[in-house]
Structure 1
Amino acid sequence: MGNNTDIPVTVIGLGLMGQALAGTFLKAGHPVTVWNRTASKADPLLDAGARLAPTIGDALESGPLTIVCLTDYQAVREVLDTTEPDGTTLVNLTSGSSAQAREAARWAEGRGARYLDGAIMAVPPAIGTDEAVILHSGPRPDFEAHESALRTLGTVTYLGEDPGLASLYDVAGLAMMWGVLNAWLQGTALLGTAGVDAATYAPFARQIAAVVAGWLPGYAEQIDRGSYPAEVSALETDARAMAHLVEESEAAGVDAGLPKLFRAMADRAIAAGHGAEQYPVLIDEFRIPRIPR
């Protein structure tokens, strides 16, 4: 592997994110070839020194590393299906599911290409900074062969051999994001009924979120062991506090759907005999898919 700036890079897809990716490689000194179905989107990059490939086949033959960033996996297949991308490593940063990532990996392998899947946990302006977290999964040798170039884009993390891991981490991260934000909005709505504005509540909420985040490693150990001794609090104690949250929300005229969901899951676990165990025992509730009534 050469140094970080002498590896030719091809970027397929020039939406806002694709343009940011290609522009970042150019600024770092990489020779960059671009291709997009609407060729005019490449104009700013051509002014900065990129080369526009006349065909998708030419783009894939332009170097050892091809970054793909399209609308969805269907678009990836539509663009690449007529090609033979052997000789390049495809790094697919298109958003999609883990099943789609695994299928794309099988497709690429059948065409003689190396394949890494990825997920970008950042907005386009952050690309090229440490704040841009980019997840990769797939064969480790293929990642290591291009790790230096990929680090041009931000903080790069390798997750494992399964091509679907990047997509799974992506949605798991979104679950955390929406879970925290929705819980904060619940509390903000409650306090708003007493005249407390969001800016006043936010520092307290941030403190609580940080404390809870500190519990995760210990709780993770319990989940991995499958043993949930009540070292801090028993689930039945938490359930009583959940009932209070439901009552307070209803009395304040605030939607109680979210705390009722918390309580329903706890009640099922308690009915199954887990009331004296600690909160992470609820993992079994999340492992059971339930059909909405």
Structure 2
Amino acid sequence: MNRTDTPVTVIGLGLMGRALAGAFLGAGHPTTVWNRTISKADQLVAEGARPAPTVGDALKASSLTVVCVTDYRAVHELLGASDVELDGTTLINLTSGDSTQARQTARWAEQRGAHYIDGAIMAIPSTIGTAEAVILNSGPRADFEAHESTLAALGTVTHLGADHGLASLYDVAGLAMMWSVLNAWLQGTALLRTAGVDAATYAPFARRIAAGVAEWLPGYAKQIDSGSFPAEVSALETDARAMAHLIEESEAVGVNAELPRLIKAMADRSIAAGHGGEQYPVLIEEFGKPRAD
């Protein structure tokens, strides 16, 4: 079958679930939908989707089922019902959760005869169906490739590896990047506002800085992967002095200094451990440790 011949089932019709189903319909896939509150399917049904009366019926309608519900507990509750048959179906679980839940759910589904791919959606509902929507997938490559052309209706689909937990880990790693960049920008914005500089004026400069720092990542990644951190640009002890300056400036103008203090505390621990002459990525050793109480 070609991609538009492949029937798909979508379980869960929140904002994201409706966007997923709509993208499949838009690509020409016969689409079956199910949701606890069936009225959420009304618009999709008007567009050609087939509503299933039960989860079991929804699964029987297609060999590929995409699940997007509240949490992993809901996944187990819905798919573990006595009248639900998973044997032979392929489940693409796009429900948000952590890597442990992903791996446990993979074993649970596979024990019931299902092919299981765990995924994460790096997008907002309005971008689903465009290249801007990134859909991360992890699990057996053969299972992913069997449905890759169908899943492409959702956006840019990527296979990360056989470990079912990878999609969840990439998801939270992406969130760490997002919040760190935004928090750094807010810190700088708060500082400049004390001098009458508005956020819109600062934003282009901040964007250039963020883009410049992003260019360092491949080289820094090589240092982390090799475990060698020669100070090619700046030593950590030099960076720590700049951190102290940021803290002092923040406090002098009445801006919260908790964030830079947190990072400097990590740098100070690394320096105390003998890494002051190495480059900034040596802090991976601190990030890789659980917090000491």
> What is the TM-score normalised by the length of structure 2?
0.98
Q: Which residue of 1 aligns with 2:157?
A: 156
The structural deviation recorded for 1:42 is 0.9
Q: Which residue of 1 aligns with 2:223?
A: 222
How many pairs align? 291
- RMSD over aligned Cα atoms: 0.7
Give the SS at the match of 2:270.
helix
Q: Distance in 2 between matches of 1:191 and 1:51?
A: 55
* 1:146 has 2:152 as partner: no
Give the SS at the match of 1:202.
helix
Q: Distance in 2 between matches of 1:21 and 1:291?
A: 43
Q: Distance in 2 between matches of 1:40 and 1:207?
A: 47
Of 57-66 and 240-249, deviating more is: 57-66
The structural deviation recorded for 1:41 is 1.1
Give the SS at the match of 1:33.
strand
After TM superposition, the structure 1 = structure 2 runs for residues 19-58 of structure 1, keeping only pairs within 5 Å, are: 19-58=18-57
Unaligned residue ranges in structure 2 (runs of 5+): none
Unaligned residue ranges in structure 1 (runs of 5+): none
Give the SS at the match of 1:3.
coil
Q: Name segments (4+ residues, structure 1) moved above 4 Å.
A: none
The CA deviation string for residues 121-174 of structure 1, in whole angstroms up to 9 with x for no partner, is: 111110000110110000000000000000000011110000110000000000
The structural deviation recorded for 1:175 is 0.1
Q: Distance in 1 between matches of 2:102 and 2:110?
A: 12
* 1:203 has 2:204 as partner: yes
Q: Which amino acid aligns with 1:58?
A: D
Q: Which residue of 1 aligns with 2:92?
A: 91
The structural deviation recorded for 1:55 is 1.3
Q: Which residue of 2 aligns with 1:241?
A: 242
Give the SS at the match of 1:229.
coil
Q: Which amino acid aligns with 1:81?
A: G
The CA deviation string for residues 58-82 of structure 1, in whole angstroms up to 9 with x for no partner, is: 1111111100000111111111111
Q: Which amino acid aligns with 2:54?
A: T
Q: Distance in 1 between matches of 2:239 and 2:53?
A: 62
The structural deviation recorded for 1:84 is 2.2
Q: Which residue of 1 aligns with 2:59?
A: 60
Q: Which residue of 1 aligns with 2:255?
A: 254
Q: Which residue of 1 aligns with 2:16?
A: 17
Q: Which residue of 1 aligns with 2:77?
A: 78
Of 93-102 and 53-62, deviating more is: 53-62
The CA deviation string for residues 97-120 of structure 1, in whole angstroms up to 9 with x for no partner, is: 010101110010010000000000
Q: Which residue of 2 aligns with 1:186?
A: 187
Q: Which residue of 2 aligns with 1:8?
A: 7
Q: Distance in 1 between matches of 2:62 and 2:202?
A: 53
Q: Which amino acid aligns with 1:170?
A: D
Q: Distance in 2 between matches of 1:86 and 1:58?
A: 14
Give the SS at the match of 1:10.
strand
Q: Distance in 1 between matches of 2:85 and 2:50?
A: 21
The structural deviation recorded for 1:291 is 4.2
> What is the TM-score normalised by the length of structure 1?
0.98
- Given that residues 73 and 100 in structure 1 are in contact (C-alpha distance below 8 angstroms), is that contact kept between their aligned partners in structure 2? yes
Q: Which amino acid aligns with 1:212?
A: V
Give the SS at the match of 2:241.
helix
Q: Distance in 2 between matches of 1:278 and 1:271?
A: 15
- Given that residues 61 and 87 in structure 1 are in contact (C-alpha distance below 8 angstroms), is that contact kept between their aligned partners in structure 2? no
The CA deviation string for residues 22-47 of structure 1, in whole angstroms up to 9 with x for no partner, is: 11111111001111111111111111
